[in-house]
Structure 1
Amino acid sequence: MSAGAGADAIRAEATRTERVIEQAERWGAHNYHPLHVVAASAEGAWITDVDGRRYLDCLAAYSAVNFGHGHPALVAAAKAQLDRLTLTSRAFHNDRLGPFLERLARLVGKEMVLPMNTGAEAVESAIKIARAWGYRVKGVPTGKARIVVANGNFHGRTTTIISFSDDAEARADFGPYTPGFVSVPYGDLAALEAAIDENTVAVLLEPIQGEAGIRVPPADYLPGVRALTTERNALFIADEIQSGLGRTGATLQVRNAGVEPDLILLGKALGGGIVPVSAVVGDADVIGVIQPGQHGSTFGGNPLAAAVGLAVVELLETGDMQTRARQLGEHLQQRLRALVGQGLTEVRGVGLWAGIDVDPALASGRRVCELLAERGVLAKDTHGSTLRLAPPIVVELADLDWAVDQLEAVLAELRG
């Protein structure tokens, strides 16, 4: 190779990331603002970019990759199913769906599962179930059903869901909005009690608010919600799409709080980071209000999704992932809290999930994420100067410590 050709090859390699980003931004809708990292492969808790640089993944695709990238058991389940059967639609049974539904129901202690694809679809399905239950069981007048939600919520970005969001960025200019929702301050039992009336069919909450910055409610909040909804004959719907399936050191965060919702919403990690899988899980007297023809999904419950979902359930049945998340999480929370006053103003979290507030006078959350990426750590900001950390549960302790060391170094650099 000539010297000129060698120089051209170096320049081409040096600009590969830029070229891929330019291509995505030229041809893709601008509904995201990603960091300038182009992932090409991944294993465990580590991502490798197109130039061969490795990054510790401290986001895990918003908890969709709880069990690590390319977990051998999950990949094996997907590969085996790809050779057999991938889709029939629900017009027929398939041999993977029944076992998946039974094992998932038993894992979370419920009687019935409605399988869907994405988290937002699970939320939309739960809204339909709650309204049908309200009209057919509770006796709410037709068209009058109300669902109480919390300020700061994030349940997805469909038209109905953004109708009860208070995030202007997600909501503005997408109206007219779906009626039938009332929002109250998160963590405020008195406000919730005042909002529930005779037409309230459900209270829909995240046990921990993820997009809001890992907002953990007071210890008496979720038990109080359960008591109020029971007393007022309304359903308690727990959106565990981000908090569930091992992230907080338990199969479900509501288990940590000692409460039993009527409906549990699952997604993200249920697909093992391989395929989109979501579910509404509850008892037959609630989910059973939906009859044939009243709700469905072409891909919901497909054989490939069911095979991967079953493999995820099998991982969780041992309890090892939950224990690991709890133990590593205690260490992570301790290390992060030691940085309060050194550039952090607050740390919140449960298990291997943390929300950290950077002093806004120091830097924006976006800037901190950019500096962390330069050091080989991937994280995501939200709402100004807040960062979310959610590494895969398979992360090694030494790697977790290394990531916190990089955050400490970034904060020191910003303080000057």
Structure 2
Amino acid sequence: MLYYLFRFLEQFGISGSHIWGYISFRALLALILSLTISAWFGEHFIKYLKKKQITETQRDASIDPFGVKKIGVPSMGGVIIIVAILIPVLLLGRLRNIYLILMMVTTLWLGFLGGMDDYIKIFKRNKDGLKGKYKIIGQVGIGLIVGITLWASPDVKINENLAIEQQNGQEVVIKHRPEARKSLKTTIPFVKGHNFDYSWFTKWMGPYRSAAAWVLFVIITIFIVTAVSNGANLNDGMDGMCAGNSAIIGVALGILAYVSSHINFAAYLNIMFIPGSQELVVFFCAFVGALIGFLWYNAYPAQIFMGDTGSLTIGGIIGVGAIIIHKELLLPILCGIFFVESLSVIMQVYYYKLGKHRGVKQRIFKRTPIHDAFRTQDSQLDPDCKYLIKAPHTPKHESKITIRFWIITIILAALTIITLKIR
């Protein structure tokens, strides 16, 4: 809103109005504003939740070797994150931008879905929360909306890879395709040209190749949004864990969005130039600011939990943001922590069921998601169960595990950005 106001005032020559046209100014202002809102609103929101006794049912204290009992801690802290994201974006973003609209719809949609889950856990005293099938339906729904919108919207276009060449001693941007157009290409790491075209899978379909490829793209979009959303949800098991990891991932996506929206940087890195994606920089700055402000209260010992209201929303934002800037195939690296958390649960369940059919009680890890294995004592294990991996034998404190996971995510984020130059 403020963007449009000051752009209007610029027509009358009012000093300083032009600065609102700079993406760097609006992005950094969004970061500061979201952090401030998150910290200020968080304090009042926590007091309100405590007054109304809106707290989560006690988490499993048996897995904490240090005996920390998290009773009476308010949940639904994701509301703080959502409010701190949306207000700066509404004030500072270009609200007619299709990418910004998709990000806001994703935030509200998954925020509502996670809120329903937290409502059932808190008010209905049902620790299982919303049934899994309804969560999946909600995640598939937003993935379908995003995929179809990117397919159908005329505003979603890219310029394929650009390159800078030397002509008469000067650097000149060479466009491989002079016009912006719809494309099914996405960035793939470690490959010259960085591009992979989804229509490669459907080339055997002749005249239906393009339509089939877009259907495939929608399916992949649904899978990515669901997978990353659930990965973030599984990662939300320790104070500050998910918020810190997601803030780091948000910084990396903000950088990727910026270079994708800047014609010279896109040319230098030989990646797709995506007009309009600069508004995602504003969104991701607000996203990072909201998470850092939330960490003020969520860091160990937590004064509030984000709940599914926060974790499902965070994962969805990351997934949709990566898809919009055609960097979804970099997510296994960037969101490596989420990927490992999800994989550990899948492996554990499969291995346990495999043993159950043979009458053997067996597990791979001491506990899953994998972060729980690092704080579980050997004395807490089932003596009748066979474990493939019992390490570590000395349990780690929750805050140490959290910070070490942050460090790993920082390394993965750096590797993700470096892949743009490794080919």
TM-score of the superposition, structure 2-length normalised? 0.27
Considering fraction of residues, name the structure with more helix: 2
TM-score of the superposition, structure 1-length normalised? 0.27
Considering fraction of residues, name the structure with more strand: 1
